[in-house]
Homo-oligomer: A and B are copies of this chain.
Amino acid sequence: MTEEIRRRDAAATRQTLLTAATELFAERGYDRTTVRDIATRAGVNQALLFRYFGSKEALFVEATSDTSLRETEPSLLLAEMLEHLLTPVSSGHRDQVLTTLLRTLGTDEEAAAVRRRLTTRYMAALATLTDEPDADLRAELVLAWVFGISFMRGVSATPPFANADPDTVRELVLPAARQLLEKIADAT
């Protein structure tokens, strides 16, 4: 049994808030998520949010910073990202950070900073997959594709993607992307 009868547990409350915030930011983005929403979903008084995190922005940074960008081999990175994007979100909270960042496109500086940092890391990894001089541009174009797919699938939720088989998508995307980054490998 899990410890269910715990009350007055600061660490647990903090974690509950963080989880609720992560979910809501991914679902609605930064602007449309209110601190009251977060507290309600966490089943917690909203004042505690400020006690434990200081501000809504600080909570956002913490919710999006545990990126868990695994140390995947770059040649498999694209295939893995596609898999993450295309598997049903319901199955555990997958890498929602991408979705969160896509939903948070305002002028908000914190969000923009998080987005830029993440982008740079992925780009650097992908840029190793070609010997062409314009490796960065090629990497960014491929990354842009991932963002676009993530956008249309997770955010816009247009019909074809909703029913699309992940394998089919991968078999379409990988060869095309290989035109830009020739060292992209197939999934294992």
Contacts and interface: CB of A to CB of B under 8 A. Distances in A.
Interface of A: 28-29, 31-32, 102-103, 105-107, 112, 115-116, 119-120, 123, 134, 136-138, 140-141, 143-149, 151-152, 155-156, 158, 160-161, 164, 168-169, 172-173, 175-177, 179-180
Interface centre among A156, A168, A177 (most CB of B within 10 A): A156
B32 A106 contact: yes
Contact of A148 (B134, B136, B145, B179): B145
A148 B138 contact: no
Nearest to A139: B160
- If over half of A's interface residues share one DSSP class (helix, strand or loop), that class is named, otherwise mixed; here it is helix
B107 A28 contact: yes
B136 A160 contact: yes
A140 B161 contact: yes
A45 to B, nearest CB: 25
A28 B31 CA distance: 12
Closest 3 CB pairs of A and B: A148-B148, A144-B148, A176-B179
A91 B147 CA distance: 27
Contact of A152 (B136, B147, B149, B164): B147
A137 to B, nearest CB: 5
B32 A156 contact: no
A106 B28 CA distance: 6
Given A141-B173, A149-B141, A155-B105, A134 B31 contact: no
Contact of A175 (B145, B156, B179): B179
